[in-house]
Amino acid sequence: MKPINIGVVLGVAAAMASIPSHADAHRKEHRGNRRIDAGMQAVSIGTKVGKPGYGWRYFTDAHEGRAVVISPGGDYFYSHGEGLKLVFKATTAA
């Protein structure tokens, strides 16, 4: 076998071996870019003063199936699809 043929075979083998590595890096980069766009989004509600829900703030991440609710007093509630759970209780200054 001529040396040029050996060089061509080795070059093709090296190129083919690097393709999956390059594709995996591209896939990870694409996945990372999608995560920047995802995340908690504020939910606007039209409650009026004196009505239930007034002063509460709601945030959801539909992609991850989670939500955060913040009470007017500063209490944080978190849900990951299993109902709201109190995760932070605001303290009142005396």
The whole-number pLDDT of residue 8 equals: 60
| Strand partners for 68 | 59, 78
What is the C-alpha separation between 16 and 57, in angstroms, rounded?
Answer: 53
Size of the chain, expressed as the number of residues it contains: 94
Query: pLDDT for 68-87, tens place per residue?
Result: 999 999 999 999 888 899 99
The model's confidence at residue 27, banded by pLDDT at 50, 70 and 90, is low
Query: CA nearest 69: which of 55, 58, 82, 83?
Result: 58
